[in-house]
């Protein structure tokens, strides 16, 4: 089956850049697929993703500096033990968030609001979350809603792989609607990512939607390119991957080396992050796997695994794509029945066992697929398509020119804290590029204004302020209340000394004064040579007594095995020289003190308020966190340490 899409998408797909899209219209003749075939392709997509995910997990980050061996098939490897343990498929982040999105669609409709999706995230996702997903989750935990949770301003990992492994469901439920699927994929990708960090997701979304009617992977790659803007970073990456395939048609390993040479590095946008998780890099590996696999399921799966880096993502996504193209018949039986057909009567025993998310119900794979297809029928009918009956069989008539119209929303923001007489700028509604938002109630502090979706200016008025914004788009309207606190000048830079507890004085190469320099993206780590639990103390001293009523500390980059507090006591220096706990402390920002990295607010400001005290000293006293490392990192030993990025002290 081959359909040529370019005439119907060239003029429309770039509108993903603006969430203010036009109403659905039939720009081209409709497409048609039987309901039975659609349901089978949806099931094959779920099974393809599950096969690819579980297969690829054995090779996740196994091949970094060099590609994997050219000895196929690799096989399920170590993941097979978990398949035996759970007697079926098990959840992982390549499939479980899509399942969460299915639940959200069933509760809130085919396009849940960002606010609805935030509630599903914060309820179900509590661990086993990394990079941009983790940052987005922690921003939700303190009160932000998407798309701010994925914005470059707040999410320090906005460029990582995360959205391209959790958003296939939006395209699976919009078969043949390439523009709609790419726009909706972009909208969902902004929950965790920004700028070019969402581009592979858009490309994948277009390919997935097209794959219901197009079986040539080379054409699918081109269709994906049509969904990207002309100056797209990922467009250039895909073109380079195509060039390498032409240059080295029989040497996939050399092509992969060239990809790694160009994209596996730290750029100006990711100087401190792990480059192996980069969205662009991993997207390139996925495209190479498609090119070298040329539609063969087993070959594509092995190439995706052998390309390395976050291999299970590429393996899952490309296998799901091939599932759509070829249906169940295209997935080798030995992959669907890794324990043998004599053990199971259905692929993966028709079991999806939750091992990764809180209160996520186990399910049968066939039921998940059927429910997904039911959502697809609703999307089709809401987007100008229909269901027709002919000769006792139901067919889906699809409008390929459909466009996605997202719900109009103003995102929630936790109380905003600013320093008086200091220039300030904060995006609130900049995602509504063509939909103005207005101040309709309340008052802004003198010196601040709301302009083009952004709060900016230099506040000159202390105090607590409340205001309400409204946005309107056609028949849609959205309102949101906001709070802003303007503080007096920061007393931390005026302290005569800033020090850390005595056992950390030898920490090499770090200047503790970065904690009060106003630069919010640096990280200071306490000494991590301690192999047993320890207490870290960060202490400020002033020559003259200061009146203090507010305190802020900001975590820096959280590491996987340590670098956080498991307890926290804010103390002040009493008149007799003794250290006392600050009375009446109110935590304005939620914080997690578990000994784990999952729910720590990386680059998040944590605010504390308390009755005014007068003192010459203020300090943090906290237990340092640390974890036993996994087998691959056990040689590094157990270490306990903390980190901070910035501290600030205010009278008001």
pLDDT score recorded for residue 16: 32
Distance of CA 130 to the CA centre of its chain: 8
The HSE-up count of residue 134 (CA atoms within 13 Å, CB side) is 21
In Å, the largest CA–CA distance within the chain is 93
**C-alpha to C-alpha distance for 216 and 545, rounded to whole angstroms:** 74
Strands (E), 145-303: none
Q: Hey, what CATH topology would domain 6-398 get?
A: ADP-ribosylglycohydrolase fold (1.10.4080)
Which pairing describes strands 463-473 and 476-487: parallel, antiparallel, or unpaired?
Answer: antiparallel
pLDDT score recorded for residue 19: 32
**C-alpha to C-alpha distance for 599 and 141, rounded to whole angstroms:** 8
Please name which of 326, 482, 407, 371 lies closest in space to residue 107, comparing C-alpha atoms: 371
The first and second tokens of residue 606, run together, are 């944590």
pLDDT tens sequence across 197-234: 999 999 999 999 999 999 999 999 999 999 999 899 99
> Under CATH, which architecture does the 492-650 domain have?
Sandwich (2.60)
pLDDT score recorded for residue 509: 59
pLDDT score recorded for residue 436: 81
Which residues does residue 442 pair with via DSSP β-bridges, in sequence order?
467
DSSP letter at 14 equals G
pLDDT score recorded for residue 101: 99
> Which residues of the chain carry a pLDDT beneath 50?
1-27, 505-506
Classify the phi-psi angles of 435: left when phi > 0, otherwise alpha if psi is within -120 to 50, otherwise beta: beta
**C-alpha to C-alpha distance for 206 and 342, rounded to whole angstroms:** 38
638 burial class (0-12, 13-18, 19+ CB within 10 angstroms)?
middle
Contact in structure between 53 and 316 (CB atoms under 8 Å): yes
Contact in structure between 147 and 184 (CB atoms under 8 Å): no
Spell 273-285 as b/e; 16+ CB within 10 A means b: bbbbbbbbbbbbb
Instruction: Please calculate the CA angle 66-69-73 and round it to the nearest 5 degrees.
Output: 140
Q: 416-487 domain in CATH 2.60.40.10? A: yes
| Alpha-carbon torsion (152, 157, 160, 161), positive or negative | negative
pLDDT score recorded for residue 1: 40
Helix (H, G, I), strand (E, B) or coil at 484: strand
In sequence order, the 6+-apart residues with CB closer than 8 A to the CB of 430 are 452, 453, 454
Helix (H, G, I), strand (E, B) or coil at 225: helix
Task: State residue 393 phi and psi, 5-degree precision.
Answer: -125, 140
**C-alpha to C-alpha distance for 582 and 341, rounded to whole angstroms:** 66
The HSE-up count of residue 198 (CA atoms within 13 Å, CB side) is 25
pLDDT score recorded for residue 28: 56
The HSE-up count of residue 17 (CA atoms within 13 Å, CB side) is 12
**C-alpha to C-alpha distance for 77 and 54, rounded to whole angstroms:** 9
Which pTM was predicted? 0.94
Q: Which H helix or E strand runs over 505? A: none
Structure-token match 């914004």, residue found: 469
The first and second tokens of residue 381, run together, are 């009918």
Going from N- to C-terminal start, the domains of the chain cover 6-398, 416-487, 492-650
């Amino acid at each position: 089956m081959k359909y040529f899409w370019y005439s119907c998408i060239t003029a429309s797909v770039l509108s993903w850049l603006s969430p203010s899209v036009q109403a659905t219209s039939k720009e081209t003749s409709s497409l048609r697929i039987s309901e039975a075939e659609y349901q089978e392709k949806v099931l094959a997509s779920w099974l393809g993703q599950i096969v690819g995910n579980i297969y690829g997990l054995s090779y996740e980050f196994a091949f970094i500096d060099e590609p994997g061996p050219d000895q196929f098939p690799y096989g399920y490897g170590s993941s097979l033990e978990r398949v035996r343990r759970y007697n079926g498929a098990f959840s992982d982040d390549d499939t479980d968030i899509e399942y969460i999105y299915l639940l959200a669609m069933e509760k809130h409709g085919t396009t849940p609001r960002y606010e609805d999706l935030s509630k599903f995230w914060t309820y179900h996702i509590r661990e086993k979350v990394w990079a941009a997903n983790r940052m987005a989750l922690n921003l939700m935990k303190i009160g932000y809603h998407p798309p701010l949770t994925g914005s470059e301003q707040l999410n320090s990992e906005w460029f990582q792989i995360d959205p391209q492994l959790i958003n296939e469901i939006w395209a699976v439920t919009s078969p043949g609607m390439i523009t709609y699927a790419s726009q909706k994929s972009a909208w969902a990708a902004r929950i965790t990512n920004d700028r070019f960090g969402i581009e592979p997701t858009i490309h994948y979304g277009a390919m997935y939607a097209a794959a219901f009617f197009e079986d040539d992977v080379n054409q699918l790659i081109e269709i994906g390119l049509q969904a990207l803007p002309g100056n797209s970073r990922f467009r250039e990456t895909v073109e380079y991957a195509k060039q390498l395939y032409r240059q080295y048609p029989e040497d996939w390993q050399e092509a992969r080396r060239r990809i790694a040479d160009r994209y596996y590095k730290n750029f100006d946008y990711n100087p401190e992050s792990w480059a192996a998780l980069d969205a662009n890099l991993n997207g390139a590996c996925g495209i190479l796997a498609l090119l070298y696999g040329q539609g063969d399921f087993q070959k594509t799966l092995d190439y995706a695994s052998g390309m390395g880096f976050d291999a299970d993502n590429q393996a899952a996504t490309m296998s799901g794509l091939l599932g759509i193209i070829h249906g169940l018949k295209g997935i080798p039986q030995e992959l669907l029945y890794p324990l043998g057909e004599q053990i199971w009567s259905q692929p993966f025993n028709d079991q999806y066992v939750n091992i990764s998310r809180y209160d996520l119900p186990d399910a049968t794979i066939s039921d998940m697929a059927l429910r997904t297809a039911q959502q697809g029928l609703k999307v089709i009918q809401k987007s100008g398509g229909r269901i027709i009956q002919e000769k006792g069989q139901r067919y889906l008539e699809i409008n390929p020119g459909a466009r996605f119209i997202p719900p109009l929303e103003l995102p929630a923001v936790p109380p905003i804290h600013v320093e008086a007489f200091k220039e300030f700028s904060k995006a609130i509604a900049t995602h509504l590029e063509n939909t103005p938002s207005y101040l309709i109630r309340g008052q802004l502090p003198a010196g601040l204004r709301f302009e083009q979706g952004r709060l900016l200016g230099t506040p000159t008025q202390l105090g607590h302020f409340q205001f309400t914004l409204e946005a309107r788009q056609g028949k849609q309207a959205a309102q949101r209340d906001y709070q802003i606190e303007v503080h007096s000048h920061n007393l931390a830079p005026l302290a005569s000394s800033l020090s850390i507890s005595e056992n950390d004085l030898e920490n090499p190469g770090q200047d503790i004064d970065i904690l009060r320099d106003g630069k919010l993206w640096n990280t200071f780590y306490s000494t991590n040579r301690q192999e047993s639990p320890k207490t870290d103390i960060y202490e400020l001293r002033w020559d003259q007594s200061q009146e203090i009523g507010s305190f802020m500390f900001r975590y820096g980059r959280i590491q996987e095995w340590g670098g956080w507090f498991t307890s926290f006591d804010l103390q002040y220096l009493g008149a007799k020289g003794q250290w006392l706990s600050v009375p009446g402390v109110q935590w304005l920002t939620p914080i997690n003190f578990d000994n784990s990295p999952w729910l720590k607010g990386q680059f998040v400001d944590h605010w504390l308020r308390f009755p005014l005290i007068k003192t010459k000293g203020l300090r943090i006293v906290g237990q340092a966190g640390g974890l036993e490392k996994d087998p691959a990192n056990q040689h590094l030993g157990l270490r306990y340490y903390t980190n901070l990025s910035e501290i600030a002290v205010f009278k008001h």
